[in-house]
């Protein structure tokens, strides 16, 4: 379920002339009975609201005084979310004859046209206060306090994300809380400016308009509105014609596949980075620890530590934290069962909160193998919003593959990947390999399985954090034996292993000229950078040094070490 919560304004939205109609109350009860949360977000003073609101217990939280006060109806507890305006400020407004004038727990309120006097007093007293309008109402609050900040505080208590909220309002002061929600709606009597920025405008006004929204929400979780939410789409990169290519942030079930070293981690990192930037919560299951230093993710687990389920969910309880789960400490044969237990708990959290918004599974052929018992798939086969990453798509459970709606084939031979995918799904309806061609350099094939859509060829926009991750990994990390550089010399007498850039620089500085020049003449240094480290920019710099026959061994050594240190060691 995408929308776990409905947040609504009071006056002019669910209420007309301060009263909520019985039909609207009944619609709100249906939302409550569907398992969703209800939050009321109002500019009214709390005591005033409770005098006119029937059944306040319908709401899980009430944000009053335009974001300054949080009320918990079940316990009748009240929490102030900011400091009150100074008493001297209220006294001065009274002295100047501002009327009507009311003061709540934190808010000071009056009506148009008194805003000119209020602003003059704020300036004369050098106060950090703001004026917020609600049609003819004039509200004064500390700067930075609004309905958006109040709603965020309420959601934090409920452990919900703003991405799982649909909000509805009618006036100027509703911009702040509608703007932070996944989907924003205006009732038909709303101000034109609010209608213009909303994703949908109800056909009716006040409570009946909210009832319309509720019926759509209960019918299909607002699926019909999904195409309007372009601001939440994941920008993967650009197509060959230069147009931006995006994926839906909700409902995308992606398989990222290709041979080793083809760029799967680059594509995966780009998607995770973009989701994180948009504020979505990601849980990345990382069997090999490849994402331990990827900055958007907190990391649990490692070679000597198996993360406890409780430890994982203590982290995920914060909607703003995304998590990488390193499974190196779990024996290879035990990983599928560990993952199935984890996935079941993740799905339970999704049912309760709608989070984590995306589940990303690296090495999916190990965790969801083709021989996984059918019973183990009861949770996973209907999973929404996920990405599976694998070098062997035909070795992933067919039940999982059949739920994929987007294939990203990485590497120079996407046709082979498509054929492996078809083999893995046991020939179910899917892409036609004959429509696949070789992509341009640095492009991936993206195929969304919707009616008549042909494959796209996309140049992936790298993750903002990815380069920093690789800089640290290659500067001071431990590259495997197959990825390290070996100084062997012209007769193969040496076997000096450089498992990272720092070690390479240290070994190079003490190397004899004959060994150094041997590898230089064969372009071994630039080849390592290009083919193993995948740093084409640095490879080109080093290749130019290798081609410069005027340089002595000591000079070429110095220039290459300097180039490496600028790219890696100094920033690692």
Residues 515-537: tens digit of each pLDDT: 999 999 999 999 998 888 778 88
Q: Can you give the C-alpha Rg of the chain in angstroms?
A: 29
Which has more confidence, 311 or 374? 311
CA distance 542 to 557: 10
- For the stretch 145-155, pLDDT in tens is 999 999 999 99
Residue 323 binned pLDDT confidence (cut-offs 50, 70, 90): very high
The proportion of the chain whose per-residue pLDDT surpasses 70, expressed as a percent, equals 94
CA distance 217 to 221: 4
CB of 230 closer than 8 Å to CB of 213: no
Burial class (CB in 10 A: 0-12, 13-18, 19+), 113: exposed
Which of 531, 502, 466 is CA-nearest to residue 291? Answer: 466
Could you count the other beta carbons within 10 Å of the beta carbon of residue 111?
Answer: 15
Per-residue DSSP letters for 352-372? Answer: HH--SSEEEESSHHHHSBTT-
Question: Residue 95 above 80 pLDDT?
Answer: yes
Residue 365 binned pLDDT confidence (cut-offs 50, 70, 90): very high
CB of 211 closer than 8 Å to CB of 19: no
Please state whether 363 falls in left (phi above 0), alpha (psi between -120 and 50) or beta. left
**Residues sharing a CB contact under 8 Å with residue 536, sequence separation 6 or more, in sequence order:** 529, 530
Cα–Cα distances (Å) from 28 to 22, 34, 156, 208, in that order, read 10, 10, 22, 11
CB of 518 closer than 8 Å to CB of 489: yes
CA distance 475 to 567: 9
Cα–Cα distances (Å) from 80 to 11, 105, 146, 167, in that order, read 22, 8, 13, 22
Q: Are strands 129-134 and 108-111 parallel, antiparallel or unpaired?
A: unpaired
CA distance 235 to 249: 10
Residue 571 binned pLDDT confidence (cut-offs 50, 70, 90): very low
CB of 70 closer than 8 Å to CB of 151: no
What is the residue whose two structure tokens read 């064969």?
522
Give mean pLDDT, residues 539-551.
93
CB of 93 closer than 8 Å to CB of 86: no
Would you call 518 helix, strand, or coil by DSSP?
helix
What is the pLDDT, as a whole number, of residue 376? 54
Burial class (CB in 10 A: 0-12, 13-18, 19+), 374: exposed
What is the pLDDT, as a whole number, of residue 468? 55
Which of 114, 132, 143, 136 is CA-nearest to residue 41? Answer: 132
Which of 430, 424, 407, 420 is CA-nearest to residue 371? Answer: 424
Sign of CA dihedral 196, 198, 200, 206: negative
Question: Residue 434 above 60 pLDDT?
Answer: yes
Query: pTM of the predicted model, to two decimals?
Result: 0.80
- For the stretch 166-223, pLDDT in tens is 999 999 999 999 999 999 999 999 999 999 999 999 999 999 999 999 999 999 999 9
CA distance 110 to 121: 14
- For the stretch 475-504, pLDDT in tens is 776 677 777 899 999 988 899 999 888 899
Would you call 480 helix, strand, or coil by DSSP?
coil
CA neighbours within 13 Å on the CB side: how many for 11?
19
């Amino acid at each position: 379920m995408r929308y776990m919560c409905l947040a609504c304004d009071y006056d002019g939205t669910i209420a007309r002339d301060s009263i909520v109609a019985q039909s609207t109350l009944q619609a709100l009860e249906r939302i409550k009975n569907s398992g969703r949360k209800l939050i009321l977000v109002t500019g009214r003073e709390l005591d005033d609201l409770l005098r006119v609101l029937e059944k306040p217990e319908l709401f899980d939280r009430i944000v009053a005084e335009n974001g300054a006060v949080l009320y918990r109806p079940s316990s009748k507890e009240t929490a102030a979310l900011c400091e009150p305006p100074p008493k001297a400020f209220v006294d001065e407004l009274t002295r100047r004859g501002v009327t009507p004038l009311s003061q709540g727990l934190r808010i000071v309120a009056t009506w148009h046209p008194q805003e000119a006097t209020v602003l003059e007093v704020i300036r004369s007293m050098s106060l950090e206060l703001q004026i917020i309008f609600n049609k003819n109402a004039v509200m004064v609050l500390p700067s930075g306090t609004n309905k958006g900040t109040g709603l965020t505080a309420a959601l934090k208590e409920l452990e919900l994300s703003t991405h799982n909220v649909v909000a509805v309002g009618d006036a100027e002061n509703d911009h702040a809380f509608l703007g932070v929600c996944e989907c924003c709606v205006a009732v038909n009597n709303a101000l034109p400016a609010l209608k213009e920025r909303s994703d949908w405008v109800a056909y009716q006004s006040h409570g009946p308009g909210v009832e319309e929204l509720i019926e759509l929400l209960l019918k299909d979780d607002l699926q019909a509105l999904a195409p309007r939410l372009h601001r939440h789409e994941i920008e993967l990169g650009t197509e060959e014609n230069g147009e931006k290519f995006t994926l839906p942030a909700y409902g995308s079930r992606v398989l990222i596949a290709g041979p080793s070293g083809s760029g799967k981690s680059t594509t995966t990192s780009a998607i995770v980075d973009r989701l994180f930037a948009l504020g979505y919560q990601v849980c990345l299951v990382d069997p090999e620890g490849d994402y331990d230093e990827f900055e958007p993710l907190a990391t649990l687990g490692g070679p000597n530590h198996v993360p406890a389920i409780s430890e994982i969910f203590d982290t995920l309880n914060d909607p703003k934290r995304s998590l990488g789960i390193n499974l190196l400490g779990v024996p290879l044969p035990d990983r599928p069962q560990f993952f199935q237990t984890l996935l079941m708990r993740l799905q339970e959290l999704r049912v309760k909160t709608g989070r984590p918004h995306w589940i990303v599974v690296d090495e999916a052929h190990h965790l969801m193998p083709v021989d996984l018992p059918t019973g183990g798939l009861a949770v996973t086969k209907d999973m929404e919003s996920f990405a599976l990453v694998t070098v062997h798509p035909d070795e992933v459970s067919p039940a999982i593959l059949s739920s994929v709606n987007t294939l990203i084939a990485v590497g120079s031979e996407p046709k082979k990947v498509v054929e492996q995918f078809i083999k893995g799904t046991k020939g179910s309806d899917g892409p036609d390999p004959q429509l696949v061609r070789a992509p341009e350099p640095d492009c991936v094939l993206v195929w969304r399985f919707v009616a008549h859509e042909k494959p796209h060829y996309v140049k992936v926009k790298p993750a903002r954090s990815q380069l920093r991750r690789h800089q640290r990994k290659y500067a001071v990390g431990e590259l495997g034996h197959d990825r390290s550089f070996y100084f062997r010399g012209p007769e193969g007498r040496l076997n000096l292993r450089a498992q990272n850039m720092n070690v390479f620089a240290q070994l190079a500085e003490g190397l004899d000229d004959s060994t150094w020049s041997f590898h230089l003449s064969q372009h071994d240094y630039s080849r390592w950078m290009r083919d193993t480290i995948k740093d084409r920019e640095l490879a080109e710099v080093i290749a130019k040094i290798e081609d410069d026959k005027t340089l002595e061994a000591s000079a070429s050594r110095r220039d290459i070490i300097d180039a490496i240190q600028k790219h890696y060691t100094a920033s690692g």
